[in-house]
Amino acid sequence: MENKAWAAEKLADDPQYFDRLAHLQTPEFLWIGCSDSRVPANEITGTQPGEIFVHRNVANLVINTDVNLLSVLDYAVNHLKVKHVIVCGHYGCGGIKAAITKTDFKAVLNMWLRNIKDVYRLHREELDEIRDEEILCDRLVELNVQEQIFNLAKTSIIQRAWKNEQRPDLHGWVYGLKDGLIKPVYEMNAGTHIDELYEYDNL
């Protein structure tokens, strides 16, 4: 591993580097991204340790029974007081590709990928028209990100922060593996109304 060389190089550049980071974490961003090894949050956004709080899972899903994700969200919103939550998918996502096959990936992966199949079903009319498989997958990547933004907005964690502190804004992005560029596909500012069925009025 390159850890020792990296630590020495950081210290040479900035003798206070680790002292500062060890005592302070004040990121303004929560990143919910794909576990894919090619999509590291800090690297592709040109940010440093300390700047982004990160959660990653297969196909960047926001599932309302996922205690891991909800704990990260709660901590980021209520304790770190992040101003922005980013859901970042990526074109060529293996999770998305797997979800539109009829392959049985066995119990656990089937459960996870089912959530993406649900996104497809919500947008079946548009997606069924697309003949090219790569274009189809890429469009589903975008729609999946949009759906995860809705899923964030449906949580009482986000709604309470919106009501009391007018933050965080929600950003849906897609990263291009082929060009390294991030494309914003869906934005939701703090306080945006969603389907009233999901809005809590006694927060």
Task: Give the residues lining the site for Zn ion (CB under 5 A).
Answer: 34, 36, 93, 95
Helices (DSSP H) in 56-93: which residue ranges? Answer: 67-74
Instruction: Mark whether 137 is an active-site residue.
Output: no
| Rounded distance between C-alpha atoms, residue 138 and residue 142, angstroms | 7
| Rounded distance between C-alpha atoms, residue 32 and residue 172, angstroms | 10
Instruction: Mark whether 93 is an active-site residue.
Output: yes
Min separation Cβ 89 and Zn ion, Å: 7
Could you tell me if 70 and 155 are in contact, meaning their C-beta atoms sit under 8 angstroms apart? Answer: yes
Instruction: Mark whether 88 is an active-site residue.
Output: no
| Rounded distance between C-alpha atoms, residue 197 and residue 203, angstroms | 15
Instruction: Mark whether 36 is an active-site residue.
Output: yes
Q: Which residue lies nearer to Zn ion by CB, 72 or 93?
A: 93
| Rounded distance between C-alpha atoms, residue 31 and residue 138, angstroms | 20
Given 55, 88, 90, 138, which residue is catalytic? 90
Q: Which residue lies nearer to Zn ion by CB, 95 or 168?
A: 95
Q: Which residue lies nearer to Zn ion by CB, 144 or 155?
A: 144
Min separation Cβ 95 and Zn ion, Å: 5
Min separation Cβ 128 and Zn ion, Å: 23
Given 38, 79, 114, 124, which residue is catalytic? 38
| Rounded distance between C-alpha atoms, residue 45 and residue 47, angstroms | 5
Q: Which residue lies nearer to Zn ion by CB, 113 or 158?
A: 113
- Give the angle 98-70-110 at the CA atoms, nearest 5°: 20
Instruction: Mark whether 23 is an active-site residue.
Output: no
Task: Show which residues are catalytic.
Answer: 34, 36, 38, 90, 93
